[in-house]
Amino acid sequence: MSLPDLVVEPIVRRALEEDLGRAGDLTSEAVIAAGTAARGLFVAREPGTIAGLQPARLAFHLIDPSLLFTPQLSDGGRVSAGQTIATVEGDARGVLAGERVALNFLGHLSGIATATARLVAAAGGKSKITCTRKTTPGLRALEKAAVRAGGGSNHRYGLDDAILIKDNHIAIAGGVAAALRRAQTHAGHMTQIEIEVDTLAQFEAALEAGAKIVLLDNFRAADLAAAVALNRGRAILEASGGITLESVAAVAATGVDYISSGAITHSAKSLDIGLDISRL
């Protein structure tokens, strides 16, 4: 589930530059004697699903390549409170300089993985959980990787890798059928087309126009079930809008193929992870 370091390193580098500023870690330089060695333990303070080990490793590597970051599990691993996630050893100044950036990535991305895993479990395998483009600017690739670590799947990465016709496109294009026709004419043979509908009448119009993927936005469970029955397997169906841990089981029970959630990226609570350091 890791990305190429080439993709992740610039994101981590910007975070380190933001934290270290123009003069580096003044506190560690002042307080810690040069050459002091230390060992740090990344410890979960609460149960959850881990993601973000790669940017955490890179945070230390970019500061000091000699620092040894050793994960105790992989992204997607489940942890309990008090469990060690990873260790880091080497020059104490380097460990402390990278500590906060590593923890920020690890906690934030593990929070996304944990929120995703909970939705996946609640859906009971009846529908796949997928994310949206409601991500933190600059962190989309990492956040989508965290969704995968939590057992979810990824929606499109941006405006350039798939066509998703939404309500505003439909309004400007002159209706569901007109919007779909334009998209079908424009798209290359490798480009997927999905259309968002708000009512069963729009859904029927989309099917008649040859839609292959339909997003059912803010449908009640009864209407989702009706759409599944009308569909008869013709299109992939995605339910979206206000999905919660309390509602996802009922949505999955309707038979939709995918359930998308923006909350798993834009509102996930950071997993509480600490770094316990000792001198070697």
Return the axis-axis angle of helices 92-123 and 5-20, rounded to nearest 10°. 120
Dump strand ranges (E) for the chain.
Answer: 37-44, 48-49, 68-71, 78-79, 84-91, 128-130, 163-165, 193-197, 213-217, 236-240, 258-260, 273-279
Position 2 scores a pLDDT of 76
SS3 3: coil
Q: What backbone torsions phi and psi does residue 250 show, to the nearest 5 degrees?
A: -65, -35
Is residue 128 pLDDT above 80, yes or no? Answer: yes
Into which CATH architecture does domain 5-119+268-279 fall?
A: Alpha-Beta Complex (3.90)
Per residue in 33-79, pLDDT tens? Answer: 999 999 999 999 999 999 999 999 999 999 999 999 999 999 999 99
Give the tokens for residue 185: 């004419």
Whole-angstrom distance, CA of residue 83 vs CA of residue 198: 45
Domain layout of the chain by residue ranges: 5-119+268-279, 122-266
pLDDT (mean) for 77-101 = 98
Relative to beta strand 78-79, strand 128-130 is: unpaired
Return the axis-axis angle of helices 176-186 and 200-208, rounded to nearest 10°. 40
Q: Which residue has the tokens 């610039």?
A: 10
Is residue 130 pLDDT above 90, yes or no? Answer: yes
- Percent of the chain scored above 90 by pLDDT? 99
Amino acid at 96: L
- Looking at the annotation, which residues are catalytic? 100, 134, 166, 196, 217
Q: How confident is the model at residue 199 (pLDDT cuts 50, 70, 90)?
A: very high
pLDDT (mean) for 205-232 = 98
Is residue 1 pLDDT above 90, yes or no? Answer: no
Q: What angle do CA 111, 56, 48 make, to 5 degrees?
A: 25
Position 170 scores a pLDDT of 97
CATH code, residues 122-266: 3.20.20.70
pLDDT (mean) for 165-187 = 97
Is residue 184 pLDDT above 80, yes or no? Answer: yes
Whole-angstrom distance, CA of residue 217 vs CA of residue 50: 30
Per residue in 254-277, pLDDT tens? Answer: 999 999 999 999 999 999 999 999
Residue 72: partners with Cβ closer than 8 Å, 6 or more residues away: 83, 84, 85, 86, 87
- If you ran DSSP here, which 8-state letter would residue 153 be given? B
Average pLDDT taken over every residue of the chain: 97
Amino acid at 204: E
pLDDT (mean) for 239-243 = 96
